[in-house]
Amino acid sequence: MVFAIKTEIFLIHIKKTEKSNENSPDILYNLCIKNNLFTHAYKLYPKYRREENMTENGKPKYFSLMEQLKADIVSGAICPGEKLPSENELSQKYSLSRHTVRKALGILEQDGYVEAFHGKGTFCSENMSHIRKSKNIAVVTTYISDYIFPRLIQGMDNVLSESGYSIILKNTGKSRQKEAKCLEELLKKDIDGLIIEPSKSEMVCKHRNLYQNLDKFQIPYVFIQGIYSEMKEKPHILMDDARGGYLVTRYLTELGHRNIMGFFKADDMQGLERHKGYVKALQEAEISYDPDNVVWFHTEDRKVKPALIAREMLEKGNLPDGIVCYNDQIAVQVMEELEKAGIRIPDDISVTGYDNSLYARRGTGITTIAHPQEKLGEMAAELIMEKINGVAEKDSKVERLIQPELIIRGSCAVNKKKDNM
C-alpha cells in the first residue's frame, strides 16, 4: 500500500515536470526506469517500449547491463581506478548493440560509479574505494589544538580501536571553505564513516552537495557539537547548550546579580543556544532583557572583540554585576582586561565560563559548565559504528543530548552592591 502511494506521488511529479519541460520525455522515461517503474514507463511513453530491446523480466537490456556492472563495482570485482572493457568488448561479451552498452555506461557515469575520459576509455571511479570495508573513520574537527579536542579524540579512539578502526584526522579552522575541501578529499579516500563538527553551523551550508555525495556513496556521518539547520534530520550528538547557558545565568541571579552581561558567539549553534538559556534565566528572575548587555562576536574576531569590549566598558564606567561568557577562553580574556584596571573578581564582578577546560583552573577557578569531552567522543564513535553496522534509528542505544553540569568555583560571589542598597 505504501509503495503504491509513493508510486502515485512519483507519477504525479512526473506529469507536472513533463508539462514544464518540453524536452522531458527522455529524462522522465529514464527516471521511471531508474526507479524500477517499468510498467508505468511504458504506459506513459509507449514508443520507448517499441524501441527498446527487452529482457525476459521486462527490463530494458541496457538497464540489466547497468545493474550487472554496478554489482561488479560494489562487490569489488571491478576496482576503483580500473579500466572497464571497451564498448566493443562489452557488446560482444553480452551480445548487445554498442548503443545499448553506451546507455548503460551513461547511467553509471551519471550516478558517479564510472568516469569516461576521451581517448582513454571508461574507468571505475576512485570514489568507489569506500564501498569495501577500509577500517578507517574520518574525524573532522574545527581546531585540533583546541583544549576540547585531544580528549574528544581520545574518547573516539577508545571505542574505534576496539573494533579495529583507525582515525583519519582533519581540521577546518572553523572555515567553511576548508570544511568543503576536507569533504572533497575524504570522498576520494577509503573511509567507512565520518564524524564531523560543522564550521559556523548557524550559517547556511553552501556545500550541502558534498554531504549529499556522502549519502549517495552510502558513507554514514555523524555531526557533533552543532548541526546545520537544513540537515537536522541527520544523526547528531549535542550538548544541551541552552540548559548550560541557563544554569550559569541562573546561578548569578541566585547570588543577587541583576545587571548581567553576556558574551556569545554568533556564527555557531552553541552560541545561539547558550544565549537562549541566558535569556530564559533572566526572564525567570524577572530581569528585563537588554540587547545592549549582549556582545556578539564571530570566529574571525573571537581573539580581539571580547577584550576590546571589556576595555570600552571600563572607559565608560558602565560595569555590570556579572558576566556570562561563551566559554572559558573568553572568560579569561574578559577577566584579564578587568583585572588590569584594578577590578576584583569576584568582589566587584562575577564571571562565568563554559567547558570546564584548563582555562577554568585559572587563579581561584572559574565557575563553568562541565564539558564531558571524552564521553562525547565515545558516544560519537558508538553512533557511527551503529550506522556502519546498519542499526535502525529506533534500535539505537546512543544518547543524543548531553546534559550540562554546573561547576562552582571562585569567580563568582554574592552581589555585595545589592546588600548595601
- 226: how many CB neighbours lie within 10 A of its CB? 23
pTM: 0.70
Q: Which residues constitute the domain of residue 218? A: 133-239+375-397
pLDDT at 272 over 60: yes
Q: How confident is the model at residue 302 (pLDDT cuts 50, 70, 90)?
A: very high
Q: Amino acid identity of 397?
A: K
According to the model, what pLDDT value does residue 24 have? Answer: 47
**Which has more confidence, 140 or 53?**
140
Answer yes or no: do 141 and 109 share one domain: no
Q: What is the pLDDT of residue 319?
A: 93
- DSSP calls for 111-134: TTSEEEETTTEEEE-GGGGGGS--
Asked if the model's pLDDT at residue 197 lies above 60, the reply is yes
- Same domain membership, residue 234 and residue 99: no
pLDDT tens for residues 210-267? 999 899 888 999 999 999 989 999 999 999 999 999 999 999 999 999 999 999 999 9
Would you state the pLDDT for residue 307?
95
pLDDT in tens, 347-394: 999 999 999 998 999 999 999 999 898 999 999 999 999 999 999 889
414 and 290 co-located in one domain: yes
Q: State the Cα–Cα distance between residues 102 and 86, nearest whole angstrom.
A: 10
Please tell me whether residues 170 and 300 are part of one structural domain: no
Mark whether 327 and 385 lie in a shared domain: no
**How many domains would you assign to the chain?**
3
Tell me which range, 22-26, 43-47, 183-187, 415-419, is most confidently predicted by mean pLDDT: 183-187
Structure confidence by residue, pLDDT tens digits, 46-82? 554 444 455 555 678 888 899 899 888 877 788 888 9
Q: Are residues 263 and 411 in the same domain?
A: yes
pLDDT at 204: 87
Q: Where are the beta strands (DSSP E) in 362-412?
A: 368-370, 401-402, 405-407
